[in-house]
Amino acid sequence: MQIGVKTDKGAIREKNEDSYYISHDRRFFIIADGVGGCNSGDIASKTAVESVADFLKHYPLDHNVDDEKVYQCLSTCIEKVNKIIIELSNHHIGYKGMGTTIIILYTFLDKVFLAHMGDSRAYLLRNGKVDQITEDHTIPAELYRKGKISLEEAENHPQRNVITKALGMIDPIEAEMYKISLEKEDIMILCTDGLYEEVDEQEFVDLFSNKENIQQSCDVIVGLANSRESKDNITILALKNGGDDIK
């Protein structure tokens, strides 16, 4: 597996409220984006990735475990981390109202499982095509799924950045779960909204398909988003199935 990662505060923001984590054994990967407009988004995202990583390191899953056990593990992890963030928010005046998006990607040979909340996204690049795997938890995305507005209206909605589900918002909370069977040369991309709001899906294909160096592709695409005056922090984490590391 070849891995690339890049995070940047973007062209406008004064600090980076995104966080990410790659486990030493490359079994799981995490990205989080401190929810804009709330206090201490950087604390929320950092707490989320560190707490998720700590949980998964203490409760490792065997390659032979069934799917339901994976979902249960990720669900329990989300519940516990959500409580940690809410408790911090309740006990520190400067953290009140903080929250964060989250994507956890757990690998099992040629399968990956995702737990997701918020508007950070997971994409699958396969055979020169890109598919968005996760569904955004935002007001216009919810309206679109209910058939109340068009896709174009959702993409240009004035509340497109208003999150409807995130760690730290309410307790209890439940993440969306996904399972993907990977093929050789597939590329999974996790990213925050600071990237995909500036770069379209065809540009993902152009910059990652048939490229030898995933890290270089991550560097280039973040640079492209910054050249377009990205209004938010930018994080991308890419994994190529069957690709060897390039130093």
Give the integer Cα–Cα distance in Å for 178 and 116: 8
Is the link from the previous residue into 172 a cis peptide, with omega within 30 of 0?
Answer: yes
Whether the pTM exceeds 0.85: the reply is yes
Per-residue pLDDT band at 36 (split at 50, 70, 90): low
Query: Given this model, what pLDDT does residue 247 score?
Result: 38
Kind plus residue range of the DSSP H or E element containing 8:
strand 2-8
Q: Which two tokens stand for residue 125?
A: 């690049």
The answer to whether 135 touches 111, Cβ cutoff 8 Å, is no
Name residue, tokens 């804009």.
Answer: 36
Where on the phi/psi map is residue 128: left (φ > 0), alpha (ψ -120 to 50), or beta? left
pLDDT at 34 over 50: yes
The answer to whether 1 touches 26, Cβ cutoff 8 Å, is yes
- Per-residue HEC secondary structure of 195-231 comes to HHCCCCHHHHHHHHCCCCCHHHHHHHHHHHHHHCCCC
| pLDDT tens track for 174-214 | 999 999 999 999 999 999 999 999 999 999 999 998 888 99
The answer to whether 233 touches 9, Cβ cutoff 8 Å, is yes
| 2-240, CATH topology level | Phosphatase 2c; domain 1 (3.60.40)
- Average pLDDT over every residue of 225-233: 94
Residue among 156, 71, 62 nearest 114 (CA): 71
Query: Given this model, what pLDDT does residue 109 score?
Result: 81
Half-sphere exposure of 166 (CA within 13 A, CB side): 29
- Average pLDDT over every residue of 15-42: 91
36-50, 151-165, 167-181: which is most confident: 167-181
Query: Given this model, what pLDDT does residue 80 score?
Result: 97
> In the chain, where are the structural domains located?
2-240
